[in-house]
């Protein structure tokens, strides 16, 4: 297999982080705190409809979507290499089985 480039490794790390329950819970907690502060406290830095929060979430989505796609592309390439290797192994095994069957047939003929 080919060596993993920095960008590919970084994409895999980001995807592993953002696809975890820990990330989801932390982000949910941050959003809950954000909304609570801007709803119930006197000092509201991002009042309803939370335009600043929506901007941050849009930026997060704009950056994570291509990173996820890069990671998926690398995983697809990795899967193709594994399938190709498996196919070669299967062909070699099939050839060995044919050779064994030929040898068994010859032995059977000698015994008979």
- pLDDT tens profile 23-75: 999 999 999 999 999 999 888 999 999 999 999 999 999 999 999 999 999 88
Interhelix angle for 21-40 vs 51-111, to 10°? Answer: 170
| Preceding omega of 49 cis (within 30 degrees of 0) | yes
Which of 74, 52, 56 lies closest to 64 in space, CA to CA? 56
On the question of pLDDT at 1 being above 70, the answer is no
With 0.95 as the threshold, say if the pTM is over it. Answer: no
- Rounded to whole angstroms, how far apart are CA atoms 67 and 73? 10
């Amino acid at each position: 297999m080919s060596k993993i480039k920095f960008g590919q490794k970084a994409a895999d790390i980001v995807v592993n982080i953002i696809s975890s329950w820990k990330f989801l819970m932390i982000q949910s907690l941050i959003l809950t705190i954000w909304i609570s502060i801007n709803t119930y406290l006197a000092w509201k830095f991002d009042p309803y409809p939370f335009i600043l929060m929506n901007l941050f979430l849009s930026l997060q989505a704009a950056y994570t979507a291509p990173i996820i796609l890069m990671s998926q592309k690398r995983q697809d390439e990795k899967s193709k290499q594994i399938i190709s290797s498996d196919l070669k192994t299967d062909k070699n095994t099939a050839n060995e089985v044919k050779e064994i069957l030929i040898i068994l047939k010859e032995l059977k003929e000698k015994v008979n």
